[in-house]
Structure 1
Amino acid sequence: MNLASSLLLSTVMVVLTTAIHMAGLAGLIAVMRWREGRSSYVSTAWWQMALILGVMLTLFFLHAIEIWVYAALYRIGGVIDTFEAALYFSTSTFTTVGYGDIVLGPGWRVLAAIESANGFLLLGWSTAFLLQVVSRLRSVEFRWLDRREDEAELFEARKAARKEEDAD
């Protein structure tokens, strides 16, 4: 494969994996918004842990799909002999580990390098997304705790007012 073909194929793969990632995150956001409107689930530690675990598993699943798409390309392109080896190579490249025990031929090296940059960006996007989820959980939890404290203060104020009325 020549350089122009490699760059074109790389661009297609970046667009495809970015679209997969974007669709997955949009679906995850839709589920979280739907669930958030249904109850005050975020006020319990168990629900928060379940939500974070769900987000982590979804992100992991999205990255697995993206890695498998690259692996399928390497296998279909006849660059790597077995799918297991293609999956191993794609995983180590996508995650920027890059062991170097499998090396692609000259026509495919640019694609592998771009897969690495693409994986780096998608993993960073997932990290930022997870950080936002946890940050939002904390802010919702703090608002919930503030409301509980306000309710407790109001209760105590009413209780004190009743005591004063009873004393008079």
Structure 2
Amino acid sequence: MIATIALTFTPLMLTVVVHYEALSGLSRILQKSTIQSRPKVLVVVFGVITAHFTEITIYALTYWIADAGLNIGDFGGNRAVNFADYLFFSAETFSTLGIGDIFPLGMMRLIASLESLNGIVLIGWSTSFTYLTMSHYWAGNSLE
């Protein structure tokens, strides 16, 4: 049970720090950049997508450790057999898409539940940051 709790909260805390640092870094890049204003929005969009992919990968590693390493759970359905399956499941869960061709069993359900909550918060944070960036850098605040 202790391993499950540690394995649940470690990626949650790690992804929040990764996201904070990614947005902070993007903010510094934008301030120092000599590129035109509107393309800065593209830098932010690609930056937050990269941050989310990194966070999804952190959770995929967590599922791999939980399943193959610590054996604290399993997957039902189309059995996850390689890292690509963990990555795909993590992307579904993080985005709350939840196609459901594979699903966690046992204590790994707690990790998946908190990943969804974490994903919603981090995606919302990215949306807010992107909106603020667009409001600041989009010429004349119009949607031309």
TM-score interval w.r.t. the shorter chain? 0.7 to 0.9
Query: Could you tell me which amino acid in structure 2 is paired with residue 29 of structure 1?
Result: S
Equivalents in 2 of 1:76, 1:15: separation in Å?
17
Q: Which residue of 2 aligns with 1:86?
A: 86
CA distance in structure 2 between the aligned counterparts of 1:20 and 1:61, rounded to whole angstroms = 11
Question: Which residue number corresponds to residue 130 of structure 1?
Answer: 130
Q: In 2, Cα distance between the equivalents of 1:61 and 1:6?
A: 27
Name the CA distance, whole Å, in 2 between partners of 1:73 and 1:9. 7
Q: How far does the alpha carbon of each residue in 1:73-116 deviate from its partner, in whole angstroms, 9 at most, with x for none?
A: 21232244210110110000000011121111211101100001
Task: Identify, as 1 or 2, the structure richer in strand.
Answer: 2
Instruction: Provide the C-alpha distance between the structure 2 equivalents of 1:110 and 1:31, rounded to a whole number of angstroms.
Output: 36
Query: Residue by residue, what CA displacement relative to the aligned partner does 1:97-142 show, whole Å, maximum 9, x if unpaired?
Result: 111211112111011000010011000000000000011124xx33
RMSD value, Cα? 1.8
Give the percent of matched residue pairs that are identical in Structure 1 and Structure 2: 31
Structure with bigger gyration radius: 1
SS in 1 for 2:105: coil
Q: Gapped runs of 5+ residues in structure 2?
A: 69-73, 75-79
Q: Which amino acid aligns with 1:34?
A: K
Task: Name the residue aligned to 2:71.
Answer: none
Residues 1-168 of structure 1: pairs in structure 2 closer than 5 A: 2=1, 4-35=2-33, 41-42=36-37, 48=38, 50-77=39-66, 78=68, 79=74, 80-138=80-138, 141-142=139-140
Q: Which amino acid is 2:65 matched to?
A: I
Size of the alignment, in residue pairs? 130
TM-score normalised by L of structure 2: 0.82
